[in-house]
Each structure stands twice: as C-alpha cells, then as structure tokens.
Amino acid sequence: MNSFPDQFKALVIGATGGIGAAFVALLEADPRCGSVVALHRHSQPALDFAQENSISEAALAVAAEGPFHLIINAAGILHSDKFKPEKKLGDLHYQQMQETFLVNAFGPALVLRHFSRLLDKERGVMASLSAKVGSIEDNRLGGWYSYRASKAALNMLLKTAAIEIKRSQPNSVVIALHPGTVSSALSQPFKGGEIGRPAQDAAADMLAVLDGLTPEDSGQFYSYNGARLPW
C-alpha cells in the first residue's frame, strides 16, 4: 500500500464476513498500516445496518481514531436462511427486497453520510463492495432481481456521493468495487466454493486496486483486476 502514508489508518465495515475479515488480516499484517478499526454487528461500537442509529453512533465513536486514509464497506447480502435470489418475476415480494436493499443500499448510503467526513483530507479512499451483476449494461442473464437492483442502487449512491464529497474533499476517492467470485458464505450455495477464489486472494487484489487509485478515479466502478466496469 505504497500510495498511502506510512502508518496509515484503515477502517473496515462488515469485518466478520469472509472478505471483510480478509481485508482486516491483510491490513494488520501490512507494516505500513498503523491501525485497523474493524466494525460489525458485534463489535464495540456495534454497527448494524438494521439499526439506523448504530451507524451514526459508530462513526462518532471511532472519529477520534481517525482521520482514516482507507475506509472499506465489505458488508452485503445475497441470500439468507429465509430466501434465495429470485429466478423470475413470480418470486418477487416485499420482505426479500426490503432486506436486500437494507444491507446492500440503505446501510451503505448512511455509511457514506456518516463516515465520509472521517476521511483524511490528503489521502482518503472509500470503497464499498458492489457486484458486476449490478451493472445494468452488463446484465445479459436476468434473474437475481433484488440483488442486482440493490447493487445498481448502491452504484448510483456511490457515484452521487463521490460528486458531492469531491467539492469539499478534492483529494478523496469514492468508488464501487467488484470482488469477483469468492469462496465465502455469500457464494457457497452457488458453487462459490468450487469456482471462487480464496477471500484472502480477492482482498489482496482489491487492495492493490485501491492502492493505485487517484482522485481522478473517484466516482467509478472497478473490478478486482483493475478494469473499469460499465454502470
């Protein structure tokens, strides 16, 4: 992470998920990283997207540990013990859409609101994990309605926030980041364990992308391999 200052400060949200935990482990092992704050539903402070106030309260609680040079939101949901991704219009219902949008769009939107102000003014990078299937232009297979739509909504929120944040923090970088297929609980029911890469490898690839970003890249959608993805 050579583009960041020595002893840079990092913060990872969704730090108990497969990719989130890998980000934390890699950053803690980086001798140039001075500190890593890991937030999740059971951390102190706790951050739970289902509890709106917990997002602002967590930001307030960790503010003194910043400013942060790197903030990563790795939280996301594709399925749960109550639902699987919809294959057809006939599968759509409010509960699944609401739960999916809560984690993939609403929560990250409030992370942008409360945590972007904690970015370092000289070198501040903020990334939220999106997904290539959230690209409207790239959608060729259909299905997975809630997941696709929630990630498309996330992309718009990130793009819009990047424009606003740049006005007061011109050195900031705010992007959407696609991790690829990763062996994790999220992808396990969909052959992720067979075709996905280890979370550690995916996190390392994404950190390399983040390390190479400049303020001119803010407001873009990137893949783990550095390619710019269509909205």
Check pLDDT > 90 for residue 123: yes
Strands 172-178, 124-129: pairing kind: parallel
Domain count, the chain: 1
pLDDT digit string, tens, across residues 59-78: 999 999 999 999 999 999 99
pLDDT of residue 183: 81
Mean local confidence (pLDDT), 125-154: 96
For residue 85, being part of any structural domain is answered with yes
Per-residue model confidence (pLDDT) at position 111: 98
The answer to the question of residue 230 being in a domain is no
**Which residues neighbour 93 within 8 Å (Cβ) at sequence distance 6 or greater?**
none
pLDDT reading at 45 higher than 50: yes
Confidence label for 195 from pLDDT (cuts 50, 70 and 90): low
Does the pLDDT of residue 10 top 90, yes or no?
yes
DSSP string, 84-108: ----SGGG--HHHHHHHHIIIIIHH
Average pLDDT over residues 172-199: 77
Q: What is the pLDDT of residues 82-108, one digit of tens each?
A: 899 999 999 999 999 999 999 999 999
Q: What is the β-pairing status of strands 124-129 and 33-39?
A: unpaired
Q: Lowest mean pLDDT of 39-43, 138-142, 215-219, name the range.
A: 138-142
What is the arithmetic mean of pLDDT over 177-199? Answer: 72
Please work out, in degrees rounded to the nearest 5, the angle formed at the alpha carbon of residue 82 by the alpha carbons of 73 and 96.
65
Q: What's the whole-number mean pLDDT along residues 43-47?
A: 97
pLDDT score recorded for residue 192: 45
State what percent of residues in the chain have pLDDT above 70: 95
> Does residue 229 lie in a domain region?
no
Residue 40 lies inside a defined structural domain of this protein: yes
Q: How many residues does the chain have?
A: 231
Q: Do the domain assignments include residue 1?
A: no
Residue 28 sits in a domain whose CATH number is 3.40.50.720
Round to whole Å and give the CA distance between 103 and 154. 10
User: Exposure of 56 by Cβ count < 10 A (0-12 exposed, 13-18 middle, 19+ buried)?
Assistant: middle
2 within a domain of the structure (yes/no):
no
The first and second tokens of residue 220, run together, are 């873009």
Full residue range of the structural domain in which residue 59 is found: 8-223
Is 3 domain-assigned? no
Residues of the chain with pLDDT > 90, as a percent, come to: 91
**What's the pLDDT at 186?**
55
Mean pLDDT of 203-229: 97
Q: Is residue 81 part of a domain?
A: yes
